[in-house]
Structure 1
Amino acid sequence: MRWRIKANLAQLAGLLLAAALLGGCGADYGPDQHGNPVSAKTLDKQWLVVNYWAVWCGPCRREIPELNALSQSLQGQGVSVVGVNFDNLQGDELKAAASTLGIDFTVLAQDPAPRFDLPRSQALPVTFIIDAQGKLRDQLMGEQTAAGIEARLATLQGGER
């Protein structure tokens, strides 16, 4: 009887571990800058360009038009541009900040760093490129251009676009 209890406990432990590991998969991304939910099915299984910005960051302000253009040019190509406010603004503050900077792409209110195991940057702006399997492929420091990010994506994707 003891071995049955141990076997059942081992099975239970395995199931709990599997549930914990899979728990993050497919979980939604929380609200965007407008308070609308961002579902996992809209962002998972595609490449992501994740840009961290702040209102007080001059280079961030200058690169927003480039990221807006990039987001437009990548529509329908399996790549999404998303922003994250470095100062963790929420609700109306996040909406106002995104509006002030003229951000047209989705801004996530919840930081996706834990989901993708992204390092915390000490400088801004910083842009991460994440592949369709959710693996970090590159970290781009400083102000970026749409053309530069597109070229980097093409290299990382090996011409699959």
Structure 2
Amino acid sequence: MADGTLADTYVAAIQHDLADLPSGATRVGVVRKPAPWFHAAVDENVPELGPPAELLEEVRTAEEDLKMQGLCEEGAHNAAWDRADFGERYREHLEESPEAQAALEELADRLAGGESVALVCYENTEKKRCHRTILRERLESAAGD
């Protein structure tokens, strides 16, 4: 059986019919604490693959501080990522959390079994950095093993 396709998008793109997803892809939310309306845009949510709450809070605090200093929303978000060392810390979470490891393995198995999956969260990655990009790279790497 051929491997499934891996894609990613953000919830507003789905809501406004702007998401270019593989036909029949399962929309998998990767949000730690989804808003109630988030569930209407996805088929399932895997909170274990969302960033840890303390990391999200650290980024939010830094982002607010940077906006107060005059940075635009996207600039503040991306600078807050750097300030919090988000990428490295999220990768560590994926490596060290047994729950995240189990969720990664399950998604990798589903992809290997031919299921197409689209990772979904809130950030439009055209302007803002997002953990989905790191997660997608990790799953693509696992598929190559």
Taking structure 1 as the reference length, the TM-score comes to 0.27
Q: Give the number of the structure whose residues are more often helix, by fraction.
A: 2
Q: Which has the higher contact order (CA 8 A, sep 6+)?
A: 2
Structure number with larger C-alpha Rg: 1
Taking structure 2 as the reference length, the TM-score comes to 0.29
